[in-house]
Structure 1
């Protein structure tokens, strides 16, 4: 038996519960509430900071330069916002919400020489 469809957290259209990408707006992870990448508290689009840990949730898209809410994709251009931790023991992918990895704490960018 198929599961009940759930509203996409981005566009609101009903999508299957096991969807990895919304078939309507093409955004990743359409099901379930958004979570803070640092403390995993529930956050909503439009929040400037996490209400639990204070992490900055608004950022500038590296592709188009427009302000956007953190997530997998830019609200304006749809470009990917995720960065990968350079620590070989970590490799966690996250939105660029700070200078350090939210999982291991190591710097996201290697020091420039």
Structure 2
């Protein structure tokens, strides 16, 4: 409901309905439905692939190397999973080897 605080999907504490970052745990996208980074279709945390476009929703954490859901942070170590394209500078989830905007490789 509009105006009512909602629980953060990561820590469970109540956050404002328009929060982009949880003020308690500091993780991004604390409320609202999860979206596929490729097609923007609604997805759920337990999905292995997007049911609309087939994108794998599992990725290797750049810090600990463990497989994790593509979200903003690694489920194992908590590190950020966002990467910056060296070519165009787009910040994006690390869900593939190439930039979602320009198509260039994300690693130099």
The TM-score, its normalising length taken from structure 2, stands at 0.85
Conserved? CA contact 1:8–1:22, under 8 Å: yes
Q: Which residue of 1 aligns with 2:28?
A: 28
Q: Which has the larger radius of gyration?
A: 1
RMSD value, Cα: 1.8
Any stretches of 5+ residues in structure 1 without a counterpart? none
How far does residue 33 in structure 1 lie from its aligned partner after superposition?
Answer: 0.7
How far does residue 7 in structure 1 lie from its aligned partner after superposition?
Answer: 2.5
Q: Secondary structure at the match of 2:104?
A: coil
Q: Which residue of 2 aligns with 1:10?
A: 10
Conserved? CA contact 1:10–1:30, under 8 Å: yes
Conserved? CA contact 1:38–1:103, under 8 Å: no
Alpha-carbon distance between aligned partners in 1 of 2:64 and 2:45, rounded to the nearest angstrom:
19
- The answer as to 2:104 corresponding to 1:106 is yes
Q: Which residue of 2 aligns with 1:82?
A: 82
Q: How many residues align?
A: 107
- The answer as to 2:70 corresponding to 1:70 is yes
